[in-house]
Structure 1
């Protein structure tokens, strides 16, 4: 059984009259806002009507995800290119240009494609390849995939507009549509990008590498899936220059698509569970389980928490942790939070930290 403070918390959060509680909470929050901690002389209203200056620099306007991806990728390729350039004579295979072959070998190693057209043939080159394949896989998993995910999300808006071209959706309708079918649109966008990369790769292999259509399809498939048999690969200077960017984007795009498909499958299972919980009839056993304070009545807060637990949205441990945090902030044990409670809790935390 929860204590009176916990019950009061749940009742206040999910009261049958939420508008009154919402106004009350907004008013109390304004009183306890950081304005109390700022002196009147420190407030500068001279620039209230002026928006913050916007930077005209191209680099500053790039999303942080892409900046991090670019920095990590450049660092990886520079180090890898320098290392493999100095041991290129210890790597056997068909070579076209020292620097280009070094960058190409980095990309092939990083994406685990491993055609076999360039193969380490000494102790030093083999050790370098081992080091760069692990670091390259970590780079793709931790950084580049984030940038690819952001790129896909930016294209979702264009896809929604295209699918609802005749409806003239506004920004709010577009956001709502994206929220309801976010993962599905990610799958569609990834499939579209992958199809474009597939066709571009085929075109380059046919026009520059001189392969037939079937061999081009075969080489594209073995590359995108990182199978890399090695019997068909990029062997010309122009082909390898194209492959540096194409291999990187195509392999990552396929990996992202597979992740989105798995996410979509999980989301659909979750929606099925939610639908089952919402349509299931309440029984006496359900009422007993939802009656947290065991008073014979199930309030709105108790009912909603019980349903959320059935849907798998939250668990009892989450509720217990939040109630524990609330109890730590509720210094006077009144069942509600006030500015005084927050100040006392902060003072107690500061004192404990200073003593320790």
Structure 2
């Protein structure tokens, strides 16, 4: 059974994807910490506290050097374990930063959509200076305010529009498209 999702549901699904990635990275990090601690305690003969200390200082790349892998098996294990666990820590912090950025973006969008428009906003949204704001101008203004697009994006799209508007009418028609395509060949 397929179900159509609205924009709010799609946004929530995307938000949950990042949250699940964060939880997955955290779970993997806990597993790597446990594996490293158990390995150091059994193979390198460190007590649990020293093993955990060594694991934490190693995967956070502090590596004080007072505890290390001294056996051959320990060094082989460390070669792969240090790389994997350090990358996992970095990925975990990346997902946390992504969650923070996402929540700030949602807050900005909510603020933009709920605040009252002022006369200054109306003037800024009036792109063609005709004293009124149409739906297209309003949408462009709000998208710019949300940080979804910028003036450069609009200029690039307008350049393409001007190229396609062969008859310079300010609108696009099928004849404009045919003329533009024939001019390109």
TM-score (normalised: structure 1): 0.46
Gaps of 5+ in 1: 1-168, 348-356
Cα distance in 1 for residues equivalent to 2:165 and 2:127: 21
Aligned pair partner of 1:336 in 164, 167, 172 = 172
Equivalent residue runs for 1:77-92 within 5 Å: none
The alignment status of 1:221 with 2:59, answered yes or no, reads no
Cα distance in 2 for residues equivalent to 1:257 and 1:194: 8
Give the CA RMSD over aligned residues: 2.4
Aligned pair partner of 2:100 in 258, 265, 270 = 265
Cα distance in 2 for residues equivalent to 1:283 and 1:318: 25
The answer to whether the Cα contact below 8 Å between 2:164 and 2:180 also exists between their aligned partners in 1 is yes
| CA deviation vs aligned residue, 1:75-130 (integer Å, no higher than 9, x gap) | xxxxxxxxxxxxxxxxxxxxxxxxxxxxxxxxxxxxxxxxxxxxxxxxxxxxxxxx
Between Structure 1 and Structure 2, how many residues are aligned? Answer: 178
Give secondary structure in 2 for the equivalent of 1:296: coil
Cα distance in 1 for residues equivalent to 2:136 and 2:73: 66
TM-score (normalised: structure 2): 0.85
**Residue aligning to 2:28:** 193
The answer to whether the Cα contact below 8 Å between 2:15 and 2:102 also exists between their aligned partners in 1 is no
The alignment status of 1:314 with 2:149, answered yes or no, reads yes
**Residue aligning to 1:165:** none
**Residue aligning to 2:69:** 234
Equivalent residue runs for 1:67-86 within 5 Å: none
| CA deviation vs aligned residue, 1:283-340 (integer Å, no higher than 9, x gap) | 2222222121222322111111111111111112211121012212333334216441
Q: 1:172 to 1:201 in 2, by over 3 A?
A: farther
The alignment status of 1:297 with 2:132, answered yes or no, reads yes
Gaps of 5+ in 2: none
The answer to whether the Cα contact below 8 Å between 1:329 and 1:337 also exists between their aligned partners in 2 is no
The answer to whether the Cα contact below 8 Å between 2:163 and 2:180 also exists between their aligned partners in 1 is no
Cα distance in 1 for residues equivalent to 2:22 and 2:148: 24
**Residue aligning to 1:111:** none
Equivalent residue runs for 1:105-184 within 5 Å: 176=10, 177-184=12-19
Structure with larger RCO (C-alpha < 8 A, sep 6+): 1
Q: Offset at 1:184?
A: 2.2
